[in-house]
Amino acid sequence: MTSQAQRVVLVTGGTGNLGRAVATAFADLGAHVALIDRDQARLDQTAAALSGGSGQHFGLVGDLGTPEGVEAAFAAVIARFGRIDSVVHTVGGYAAGKPVHEAGAQVLDDMFALNVRPVYLVGAAAAQHMTARGGGGQIVFILAKAGQKGGKNAAAYTASKGAATRIMEAMAAELREAGIAVNGISPSTIDTPANRQAMPNANPDLWVTPAQIAQMCVTLCTGDSGVYGANIELFGRGG
C-alpha cells in the first residue's frame, strides 16, 4: 500500500477552484502532485504554493481532448515521478439556457467535448498505466448532480454529465478485478467566485465547497477504501 507521503496524484484542471483544492488536500498529506491545465504560468504558481513547493510538485500544459495530448501528459508525469497512483479529473464545462429546439447542435458538441471526451481519454490513459504496472490505484471523476436527470433548458449539459457517469460506471466494472478503484463525485452547485457572481441572490452557505469535494477525493484515494463504482452525492445543505 502506498503511503500518502509516497503517493503520486495527477489532478486535471489543476489551476481551477476545485483543482487547486484537490491538489492542496493531497499536498498537505505529503503526496507528490502533478497538475494539468492550460496556462503554464498559473500552473507554476499553483505548484509553488502547495505544501512542499515546486520541488515536490509540478504542472504541465496538456490537451485533454486528444489521445495524443493525454498520452503526452501522462508520459511527462511518469517521467518525473516514475508512476501515477491516483488520478482526479476535475475538468468540465457548463452551457445552458435554451430548449433543445432553439439551442442548436453546437452546444451539444461543445458539452460532449468538454464533459465526455476528456473523461473517456483521461480514464483510458490512467487505466492503461495502472494495469501495465500490475494493477492497483484510484481514478476519481468529478461529475455533477445534473447528470442524474435531464433538466429544463439544459439538455446538452445534463446529457453530457449523464454520459460521463456511464463511462465511470463502465470503467469501474472493467477495472475492479485489477484492484483499480474507479468512482465519481456528483456535487450540486459548488461555492466558487464564478457561481457567486452568476447567482448573486442565492445563498452560497447552502452549496458544497471545493474543500469538501477535495476531502472526499482523498478518502477515495486512501488505501483500499473498498469503494468501487460509486457515484457519491455531495449536495451541501441546499440539496
Q: What is the pTM of this model?
A: 0.95
Length of the chain measured in residues: 239
Cell of 15: 489551476
The b-or-e profile of 180-215 (16+ CB within 10 A means b, else e) is bbbbbbbbbbbbbeeeeeeeeeeebeebbbbebbbe
DSSP 200: T
* Side-chain half-sphere exposure of 160, counting CA atoms within 13 A: 23
Residue 239 within any structural domain of the chain? no
pLDDT tens string, the chain, 239 residues long: the values are: 455 558 999 999 999 999 999 999 999 999 999 999 999 999 999 999 999 999 999 999 999 999 999 999 999 999 999 999 999 999 999 999 999 999 999 999 999 999 999 999 999 999 999 999 999 999 999 999 989 999 899 999 999 999 999 999 999 999 999 999 999 999 998 999 999 998 999 999 999 999 999 999 999 998 677 889 999 999 877 76
Residue 1 within any structural domain of the chain? no
Residue 183 within any structural domain of the chain? yes
Spatial contact of 9 and 86, defined as CB atoms under 8 Å apart: yes
As for how many domains the chain has, the answer is 1
Angle value at C-alpha 122, between 119 and 124, nearest 5 degrees: 100
Residue 109 within any structural domain of the chain? yes
Coil, helix or strand at residue 139 = strand
Residue 129 within any structural domain of the chain? yes
Please report the pLDDT score of residue 6 as a whole number: 80
Please report the pLDDT score of residue 1 as a whole number: 47
Residue 3 within any structural domain of the chain? no
| Domain extent at residue 41 | 8-234
Expressed in percent and rounded to 5, the helix, strand and coil fractions of the chain are 50, 15, 35
Residue 181: give its domain's CATH number: 3.40.50.720
Residue 110 within any structural domain of the chain? yes
